[in-house]
Amino acid sequence: MIAPKSVKPALQLAYVKLMMDVIGRGLAMASQVDDEIKREVAAFPANFTLSMNVFPNGPAFIARVTENKQLELVKHLHQKPDLTITFKHLHHAFLVFSFQESTSQAFANDRMIANGDISFAIRLVRCLNKMEALILPKLVAELAVKEYPQNLSLKEKLMGASNIYLKVAQSYLKGSV
């Protein structure tokens, strides 16, 4: 395990920025391919906006629920997002994104703030947990999520991961948000 204090802040910033982008894209693509995440996203109202960021002006992603109930990344919003998940410090985001602390544990340790309807924040965390369970190796995913899904078959994991990674790669090649 990486000792977080041994990683220089500039490297933490670069890593968190990369991971924030990958997670934002992964979440958007997972909302197109995974049935469980599709159901969760379908419960958000159309045009609902959410953001994850690092206080005060650190790395971030912004997503919007489309009319057909999928997440899409957006560059900017003209109003405050409906839900914002904020890491209180870059170091806190680094702990989560380097899988040294789960999202649930970060909330419990008061390292993150949810600004918006808490039921939507819980729904977003469930989406993040499922996406991480799909795309990360099981050993890493078990560190990242509160509870690894017992019913996640190897076939479902491989198919889900390959579909999400393919769509994320395509989004980078297309140069989309």
pLDDT digits (tens, 9 = 90+) for 127-144: 999 999 999 999 888 888
Q: Which two tokens stand for residue 165?
A: 């990674």
What does residue 26 show for φ and ψ, rounded to 5 degrees?
-60, -40
Q: Residue 24 — pLDDT band, cuts 50, 70, 90?
A: very high
**Token pair recorded at residue 113:** 């703030």
Query: Which tokens belong to 86?
Result: 């904020």
Domain 8-171 in this protein, CATH class = alpha beta
Confidence check: pLDDT of 177 > 80: no
2 pLDDT tier (thresholds 50, 70, 90): low
For residue 85, the SS3 value is strand
Task: Please measure the distance between the N-terminal and C-terminal CA atoms of the chain and give it in whole angstroms.
Answer: 32
Give the relative orientation of helices 118-135 and 154-174 as an angle to the nearest 10 degrees.
100
CA distance linking residue 116 with residue 48, whole number of Å = 11
Q: Residue 110 in contact with residue 100, Cβ under 8 Å?
A: no
Do the beta carbons of residue 4 and residue 91 sit within 8 Å? Answer: yes
What is the chain's mean pLDDT, rounded?
92
Domain-wise residue ranges, the chain: 8-171
Please report the pLDDT score of residue 121 as a whole number: 94
Position 98 scores a pLDDT of 92
Residue reference for tokens 């560190």: 143
Q: What is the pLDDT of residue 127?
A: 94
State mean pLDDT over 46-53. Answer: 97
Q: How confident is the model at residue 146 (pLDDT cuts 50, 70, 90)?
A: confident
Q: pTM of this prediction? A: 0.87
CA distance 161 to 15: 21
State residue 143's pLDDT score: 82
In this structure, how many other beta carbons lie within 10 angstroms of the beta carbon of residue 30? 29
Confidence class for position 105, pLDDT limits 50, 70, 90: confident
